[in-house]
Structures are given as structure tokens and as C-alpha cells.
Amino acid sequence: MNSDRSIAILGGGISGVTTAILLQMIGYRTVLYTCAEPSYEPDAARPSEFATLHAAASVLPHSVSSPNVARWTGISREFFRVLAARAGCGVRGQVHYEIFEDPVLAMPAYAESVDNFRFLTAEELSDTRVPRRSGARETHGWKFDAFFCEAPVYVRYLYLLYAEIGGRVLGPAGNGGLSDYLALDHDIYVNCTGVGAHAFLRSATNDARCVDAPSEPDFEPLIDPVPPKLIRGHYLRIDTKGVVGEQPFSYNYKPLAEIYRNAAGAPADVYCYPRSDAWILGGSRQEGRIDGGRWVGDQTVGEEIEFRRRDGGSLAVPSAILRLNADILLRVSNGRLDLERMVRDDPVIVSPAIGYRFVRDSESDSVRTGCSRVEFGGARKYILNNYGHGGSGFTLSWGCAFDVLQMVGTVVDRSARAVMPRGWARSDVRYDTVRQALANLIARLVSREA
């Protein structure tokens, strides 16, 4: 294998561009292949397939299950700490609240991976500055210091950063199938295709040139045996820059099931994330799939509100997304921010949208970060996977990219068997070393701009 050849990153979402930056920064030559780059279009006009631009983008592991979540979150947090010190990149620190009306609470798995985590006292929960529904009998929960990414700003910044360090961005190869990429002059491919990952890998099975040849038990089969699943999320972009309190904050709030529930009858939560250009209100986590362009899966339980889209169409959104959030924000702002009245007076400030998050349907590990080896036209090729992050793509981005970096090292050096997470020897690349390299890189860019 010629290790001087460039590494192909397949997929230009948050996982793809973060992985490309990390590999390029550490000294590998990379090419990022993507069907779509981040745009400046309004949320409603962006393609739903490019889920990265629809994310609320809190650094908090939601809608994902993996034994590695805490470690990945911890690594990502250190990278976001560096980025948050850089003005203009779309990353900041803020207080985040997780509030529940159900008193049965367990310590979340991510508690040790965030800063200043602590449960809230009854006195603190009664404070009007803490999110609470007006009719709630009692609330429970915690808060911590979180990082938040303004998705459109942050992703565009990453693309600029990638270009600054010599990365190349190209459109899809051929018809965009795996075989079209394997025919290119790369030895290592990192599969970050997200929602299309399952079908993308399977597309090579009918090509006689491609033979799945793990030869060693620790390499994974090319085809993913775990079924894919989509999570559909509704959200509202409210074009207001009204500030609640002295500092920005965010929250996830879960009322009782009788107030808002999902298709399984369990309590569902709403959230609010303030961006500099708007407030992002959600949410829903509906499981299903898209068949012939139609959604087949969980439907909204209870009332919906029809909102006009800026493209001339309309979209029905669970009414709780507006009404519960409006109730909470009215209370924490001491009556200054009345969203329901604002929407009635000026409906055009609301942009409804849907985003789709891909997750592997596995109870044990919904994220796939492992290595496959194939023979293609007689040449040995390695496919490293990095997909299945569910609603935690931003949260896990740097942590998973760091694992890809280590997998690439084991493939290039042949010093260990390249498989993850079971049994493979980690390379000696430390994330604090890479984190410092990122800080140095940003410092150089800042001095160049000055």
C-alpha cells in the first residue's frame, strides 16, 4: 500500500468535514467528496438530506446509544473548548438545563463528560430563570456548562478551515456508488455518508470487481448487518433576536406524557436553542423510514399546527413545539418574550422544517466506527466507517474523528490490526497533542487575518 496517496473522505456532513480536517491537520493528504456543501439559504430551503444544517447542534449526546459515548463526548469537548475561544467560528459556551416533570431520574451517562454538572435543588428549580411549564406540579433535573454550535456558521467555518490547510473538496464520483470511489486512486476511504451509508456500502455487492476480503477476523464485513433507521425531527426557526436573561442558555424540557408524548406513549421533550440569527425550537424524535419520498413511521400524537414555508408550501408541526416552549419562555423572560403573540402578529417570522438523523438500529452500539478490507480489481482497499450518530453528530464529531485518525494510523503503519472498537491496539497519537495542534493552527489563522 502506498501511504503517500490521499485518503478519501466520503460525505461532507459534520462527521465528514471534521474527520477530513483532523487527518489533513496531522499530516495526511485528504480529499473530501460531497454531494452538497453548506449553503447560506434559509433553513426551509436546505435539502433535508444534508441533516448537518438542520441540527440544533448542542454538544450533548441525544438519540444515540454506544458504550463509547462518554469518551467521544469528552474528547469532542476538548476540541470545542479550543474553538469556542475563536470568535466568529460559531461555537460558544453556555448553561444548559435538562428538566423533567417525572421524578424518576438517573444520573446521565454523559455527566462526567461535561463541565460543572450538578442536580438542581428544589429551591433552584422554583427560580423563574429555570425552565418550567406554568402548569407543572413539580420539576426535577440538572444543569451544566455546554458548548453550542450555530450549525450554519460553524459548518461553513470548518469548510474554510479545511481549505486553509490544503484540503480539497470534490463532487461525487461517477454515479456516487461505492464502486465509483473504489475505482479512484485511493487506498483508504472513510465512509461518512450518514443517512445513505447502509445502501452506499451495499451498492458494491453487485460489482464483480469488489470482493469483501477481511482475511483476518478482526476486520468487519463490508455490509452492515444492523438495520438502518431514521429519526425525523420537527423544528421551528423563530426570527427573533430577543434575549432572555443576561446570558444565552438552552434547555430540553420533558413534561408528563399527558401533556406531550411520543408514538409509544412515553413523555416527549421540547427544546430551545438560541442562535445569533434566530431561536430554534423543537422537538420530535419520530422513528421510521422514507419510502418513495413518503415518511413511513411514527406520527405526531395530538394536535398539530400548520405553518407556511418560505418556499410557498406548508408543514404541520406538533403544536407542543410552539406552545410548550412559548409557555416556558414567557415565564423565564418575566413576560417579555411572548412567542405565541409574536407569531400571531407576524406569521412570517416562523420557518418550519424537518431534519432526518440516521442511526443504526442496535441496542448495544448505534455508531459504526470500524474497518473493512476489500479487494477491488486486484488492489487492496480499506473502508473505515464513521456513521450512525443519530442526534449526536456534532457532539461526537471530534471524538469519532479521533478514532478514525487512530484507525488510519494502524492501517498505514501496519503496527496493529485495524478494527474498532474490539481488540485493536490504539496508535500512540494522543488527543491532547492533536488538540494543541488545532489550537496552534487557529492561532496562525488569526494572526494571518490580523
The predicted-structure confidence for 395-416, as pLDDT tens digits, reads as follows 999 999 999 988 888 787 653 3
Q: What is the model's pLDDT at position 55?
A: 66
Grid cell listed for 412: 498505514
H helix intervals, 119-246:
122-125, 151-164, 178-182, 197-202
Q: What is the model's pLDDT at position 450?
A: 46
Q: What is the model's pLDDT at position 286?
A: 92
Angle at CA of residue 138, ends 132 and 140, nearest 5°: 75
**Structure-model confidence comparison of residues 248 and 121, the more confident one:** 121
Radius of gyration of the chain (CA): 22
How far apart CA 79 and CA 208 sit, in angstroms, is 42
Give bridge partners of residue 254 from the DSSP assignment. 100
For the chain, the maximum distance between any two Cα atoms, rounded to a whole number of angstroms, is 69
pLDDT tens, position by position, 199-213 = 899 888 888 899 887
Lowest pLDDT segment from 148-152, 275-279, 283-287: 275-279
**Which range among 189-198, 272-281, 314-323 has the greatest average pLDDT?**
314-323
Calculate mean pLDDT across residues 183-190: 94
Q: What is the model's pLDDT at position 174?
A: 87
- pLDDT bucket at 418, cuts 50 / 70 / 90: very low
CB 227 within 8 A of CB 73: no
Calculate mean pLDDT across residues 340-344: 90
| β-pairing verdict for 30-33 and 168-170 | parallel
- Domains annotated on the chain, with CATH: 7-449 (3.40.50.720)
Average pLDDT value over all residues in the chain? 84
How far apart CA 43 and CA 56 sit, in angstroms, is 11
Q: What is the model's pLDDT at position 1?
A: 41
Query: Helix (H, G, I), strand (E, B), or coil: what is residue 215?
Result: coil
Q: pTM for this structure?
A: 0.88
Calculate mean pLDDT across residues 61-68: 83
pLDDT tens, position by position, 228-260 = 888 888 999 888 755 455 577 899 999 999 999
Q: Which residues of 392-410 are buried (b: 16+ CB within 10 A; e: fewer)?
A: bbbbbbbbbbbbbbbbbbb
How far apart CA 407 and CA 371 sit, in angstroms, is 8
Q: What is the model's pLDDT at position 430?
A: 66
CB 11 within 8 A of CB 194: yes
How far apart CA 296 and CA 125 sit, in angstroms, is 39
**Structure-model confidence comparison of residues 38 and 339, the more confident one:** 339
Q: What is the model's pLDDT at position 230?
A: 86
Query: Which residue in 12, 15, 9, 10 sits closest to 388, CA to CA?
Result: 15
Q: In the 8-state DSSP scheme, what is residue 267?
A: B
Lowest pLDDT segment from 65-74, 94-103, 181-190: 65-74
Q: What is the model's pLDDT at position 242?
A: 53
How far apart CA 204 and CA 441 sit, in angstroms, is 38
Grid cell listed for 416: 496493529
CB 352 within 8 A of CB 44: yes
